Structure 1
Amino acid sequence: MAVCVSLTLSGCDRPWWKWGRGGPGDEGGYSCPRPALMQNAGFNDQEFEIRYFRRAAFKNDFFAQLELADRYAAEKSTDKNLEDPIEGSVWLVMALANQEGYAPMNRILTNDGKLASRYDKCRAFERARAYRRLDRNLAMMDMSERDKVRDRVVYILSTLGADGFRTLGRLYDVQYGPMGEPADNREAVRAMMRNSDDGRRNVRSLFQRSDVDAYLYNYKATETGDVGAYVLLKDFERSAGDRKDYASFVVGKAKRWVAPYEFYPPEAPGGGVPHSDESIRSDAQDYALIRMEELPFVHVGRALVYLDLTQTLYSSPSEVPADTLTGLRAILGKATTGRAEMVRMTNAEKLRAIQLAAINGSSQAQLALAVMYSEGVGVPADYARAFYWYQQAEKQGSPEARFAMSTYFALGLAGVADQSKASAVVLRLDSAMGGYRPSAQRLRAILEQVSRNPNG
């Protein structure tokens, strides 16, 4: 019996430079080779490898995305504890929508008109296989599960800046293939073909085509300051007769848009490694995190109590014990190192505690998070997101949130297109009846508490 001793870019049955034949149903295609890290997974290395691939996949690495899809499909017995069709489908969509997977590397064709580059051939095979697997997964999901897949993809792409928003624009644009590739791409053509059994397309639709949504995401790309995005937006407007007519409507919609999640859902399959948010941080996010030092720690302490991580309301990060921090990190899907320097709570963890409490229904955390978005503390200033969290707190009866919302309505701050003075009057009356006496000075004090009065 042959024994594999090589740790090169190969399995043990073939040299690294050869593409192995695909299995049943793979139409005799060829898969791309994988480095050793993607070949020799064991239980001891599983958590390290999953986090490694997630970091790369969030940076839009095509092969890392494919590898994550394989891991969450539990194709190897050592990955059975990771099995998660929703998460696996997310990374299949990300790989299929990734230009790294279909942009030609070598345009030279052979005499029979086929791609000459083995790299192009293997990527085409990987995409065809991913399409089949994605359709198989979606066929077994109900609508709520498919919504989860779509929302997670939208979140990940929204963290990639202009490139991510442009990809979203293509996903909703009828002039592109099912996953935003050129409509004449071979895998896209096959996906859009209808089968002979029931006339249904070979791949189920996850993104319903819409000129409004396509315009929205192209516009969001321009909001990042990317010059190329503006050129592409103008090209989009000219690409069909009535698209430019959507401009005024879409601009208002874009100013209210927020990503589906506050941060990536830290869920975990039974007994597996929790999902973690490995999105790339911008300079604005890093600066906002530094300003977390200005936030009165009582807001973080309340969040920890609400999350049932402690029964004590701590007044400073130095008071938070190691077991409370370990519990928070476990909820967030972060690895615990046990190093002494990790005992102290980081600014990112303070932010996540408040966000997690807000997501789970704490009106106090929702109001604090709204103020943080208003002021750019912990998170970059985002009036649309601030208004969203004021709304959530107001639904739970927060009079401060009601008054803040009324001010948003009246002043028409950026990101809130629903400017109605009548609504402002009603909300101010409700706020007063709720025991909160509205005044511009009081609202200003709330908004300035975080950044101007850290010890208040």
Structure 2
Amino acid sequence: MAIFHEAALGMRRVARVGLTLAVLAAIIPLSGGCQPKDSPDGGGGRSGGHAVGGPACPRPQAGIGVQPQFNAQEQEIRALRRQGFQGDFFAQIDLARRYSGRDAQEKNLADPVESAVWYEMALSNPDGYAPIVAGVDPKKGSRGGAGNKLNDCRAAERRGAYLALDRMLDRMSSDERQQVRDRVIYVLSSQGAAGFRTLARLHDAAFGPFGDPSDGSPVDARDLNQVKPPAAATLFTRNDVDVYLYNYLAAQDGDVAGYVMLKDFERSSAERASLGSDAEAKARRWVPPYEFYPPQAPDSGVPHSDEAATLAEAEGVALARIDELPFQHVGAALAYLRVIPQPVGSLSQISPGDVQTFQAMLGRPTTGVFTPQEKVRAIQYAAVNGSSRSQLALAVMYAEGVGVARDYARAFHWFAEADRQGSAEAKYAMSTYFSLGVSGVADQDKAAAVSYQIDGALAGFKPSAQRLREVLAQVARTPRRPTEGTYR
């Protein structure tokens, strides 16, 4: 039943990639398509490289113009990352190959963890295995016409990606594998309900190792029964609690398919239905393990930029309120990131060149004009990189819905991070959380509250931050509408 409803969503994907498929269908007779067969090669290097057993599926190049530019590689990677974050199957494959460093021109990009992330993203992407032409049976192979030639090519791409991913993961430490899982979860969570549904399938034993139909997986079913199954097939552990969690998060986003899959999952057994309360409590506490990619560039000089569209599209109201946050917090974040030499209190104290430096760090157009999204990113990047002041500011932003959507679980997370760094204000905030009790975030604990209050007093914090108390008092009440109130 769940598989049926998931397949019904294919029409949306057909509409989204319809124009591209029309172009590809016209190209395939000229290119000869693919002749998929097993090979340890794992595909070629660049966008026009070769997949397993034949030419790769034709797709648009990530070109930047006729004349080569000094930063051409970075521009191509930025473009591919934007497409990869948005769910483009071929961009994800190409990113994985670039980061594998197999091509001599891209040895400087070699990053096994990042390469594995994008191979896993491509393998779990429904656009890589769902039928792309309505009414065509993918089991008929190339006899089905251009549509099935495209299916054959994608199958070859997925087989090569699986073999490459398996080799990479087999050589990784447990910590490196955890990094891969964390980044995949973050990228998928940035896609909203569709990403949550993919995460649910990755944990569901009813699907293949990549959330795909078991009979269409690149993994041989016999390999899964070995004493040591393939590393690529065991990156995500199958368990019902996480299946419920991610379907619940998809349903909370207002996604009908996520709600249907959740109900189908509940009805499948009494044991699964009993997981509801635990999974919902976990969902209220849940935050992506990777909030944002750090701004430090790897050896290649091409930063792992965060190209999630969440801020630009899903948080418009909250983003419009960013100017309620005193600019001194943005100025302090920029100083912490060494974009400017010292903190400033107003935007007028920052030159267009400084703004361009930060925009280049983010991989955004270097206009010299600060956008609301870039102000939020400054706080976020400084928080991720250890600034307790930015962690505290980000926590309040989440509590208030300023710049980012209101989310008490994330607010609690960043208050806790600032508290670990010894922030007296964060200790006071934590005491408020524990004394009031927030369902699904922090249970009421008077003893813990008193402990945090004493620690805060010893750290020199005086309850002069009346506004902080007012902000945190809201967590015990129904959230206000986003347009009410300000942060001073």
Matches within 5 A, 1:174-253: 174-190=205-221, 192-193=223-224, 199-204=227-232, 205-253=234-282
Equivalent residue, structure 1, for 2:326: 296
Equivalent residue, structure 2, for 1:85: 112
Equivalent residue, structure 2, for 1:34: 58
Equivalent residue, structure 2, for 1:62: 89
Matches within 5 A, 1:24-173: 25=40, 29-35=53-59, 37=61, 44=69, 45-105=72-132, 106-107=136-137, 109-110=139-140, 117-173=148-204
Deviation at 1:451, TM superposition (A): 8.1
Equivalent residue, structure 2, for 1:421: 446
Deviation at 1:86, TM superposition (A): 1.3
- Mind listing any 5+ residue stretches in structure 1 that lack a counterpart? 1-7
AA at the equivalent of 1:315? G
The one-character-per-residue Cα deviations of 1:157-210 (angstroms, maximum 9, x if unpaired) are: 001111111110111112221111122224243584456xxx422344211222
CA RMSD of aligned residues (A): 3.3
Q: Secondary structure at the match of 1:381?
A: coil
- Given that residues 165 and 218 in structure 1 are in contact (C-alpha distance below 8 angstroms), is that contact kept between their aligned partners in structure 2? yes
- Structure 1 residues 37-46 or 262-271, which shifts more? 37-46
Give the direction of change, closer, same or farther, for the CA distance of 1:25–1:428 in structure 2 (3 Å limit): closer
Q: TM-score, normalised by structure 2?
A: 0.80
- Given that residues 211 and 243 in structure 1 are in contact (C-alpha distance below 8 angstroms), is that contact kept between their aligned partners in structure 2? yes
Query: In 2, Cα distance between the equivalents of 1:373 and 1:89?
Result: 31
- Given that residues 425 and 456 in structure 2 are in contact (C-alpha distance below 8 angstroms), is that contact kept between their aligned partners in structure 1? yes
AA at the equivalent of 1:361? G
- Given that residues 128 and 154 in structure 2 are in contact (C-alpha distance below 8 angstroms), is that contact kept between their aligned partners in structure 1? yes
Query: In 1, Cα distance between the equivalents of 2:318 and 2:138?
Result: 48
- Given that residues 399 and 431 in structure 1 are in contact (C-alpha distance below 8 angstroms), is that contact kept between their aligned partners in structure 2? yes
Q: Secondary structure at the match of 1:242?
A: helix
Deviation at 1:425, TM superposition (A): 2.9
Deviation at 1:33, TM superposition (A): 2.6
Deviation at 1:119, TM superposition (A): 1.7
Matches within 5 A, 1:351-430: 351-430=376-455
Percent of residue pairs bearing the same amino acid type: 47
- Given that residues 177 and 189 in structure 1 are in contact (C-alpha distance below 8 angstroms), is that contact kept between their aligned partners in structure 2? no
Query: In 2, Cα distance between the equivalents of 1:277 and 1:62?
Result: 18
Query: In 2, Cα distance between the equivalents of 1:118 and 1:218?
Result: 33
2:346 maps to which of 290, 296, 316: 316
Query: In 1, Cα distance between the equivalents of 2:244 and 2:55?
Result: 36
The one-character-per-residue Cα deviations of 1:307-339 (angstroms, maximum 9, x if unpaired) are: 23323332211221244334433443x1564xx
Equivalent residue, structure 1, for 2:309: 280
Q: Does 1:306 align with 2:321?
A: no
Q: Secondary structure at the match of 1:233?
A: helix
Q: Secondary structure at the match of 2:213?
A: coil
The one-character-per-residue Cα deviations of 1:117-158 (angstroms, maximum 9, x if unpaired) are: 212222111111111000011122112211111111000100
- Mind listing any 5+ residue stretches in structure 2 that lack a counterpart? 1-22, 42-50, 474-482
- Given that residues 178 and 192 in structure 1 are in contact (C-alpha distance below 8 angstroms), is that contact kept between their aligned partners in structure 2? no
Equivalent residue, structure 2, for 1:5: none
Query: In 2, Cα distance between the equivalents of 1:265 and 1:31?
Result: 36
Q: Report the count of equivalent residues.
A: 437
Equivalent residue, structure 1, for 2:8: none
2:284 maps to which of 255, 261, 264: 255
Q: Secondary structure at the match of 1:264?
A: coil
- Given that residues 255 and 417 in structure 1 are in contact (C-alpha distance below 8 angstroms), is that contact kept between their aligned partners in structure 2? no
- Structure 1 residues 37-46 or 168-177, which shifts more? 37-46
Give the direction of change, closer, same or farther, for the CA distance of 1:131–1:354 in structure 2 (3 Å limit): same
Give the direction of change, closer, same or farther, for the CA distance of 1:9–1:20 in structure 2 (3 Å limit): farther
The one-character-per-residue Cα deviations of 1:257-278 (angstroms, maximum 9, x if unpaired) are: 1011222344544234222211
Q: Secondary structure at the match of 2:208?
A: coil
Deviation at 1:289, TM superposition (A): 1.8
Give the direction of change, closer, same or farther, for the CA distance of 1:272–1:293 in structure 2 (3 Å limit): same
Q: TM-score, normalised by structure 1?
A: 0.85
Give the direction of change, closer, same or farther, for the CA distance of 1:453–1:62 in structure 2 (3 Å limit): closer
Query: In 1, Cα distance between the equivalents of 2:389 and 2:76?
Result: 37
- Given that residues 116 and 180 in structure 2 are in contact (C-alpha distance below 8 angstroms), is that contact kept between their aligned partners in structure 1? yes
Query: In 1, Cα distance between the equivalents of 2:236 and 2:271?
Result: 21
Deviation at 1:220, TM superposition (A): 1.2
Give the direction of change, closer, same or farther, for the CA distance of 1:108–1:395 in structure 2 (3 Å limit): closer
Deviation at 1:21, TM superposition (A): 7.2
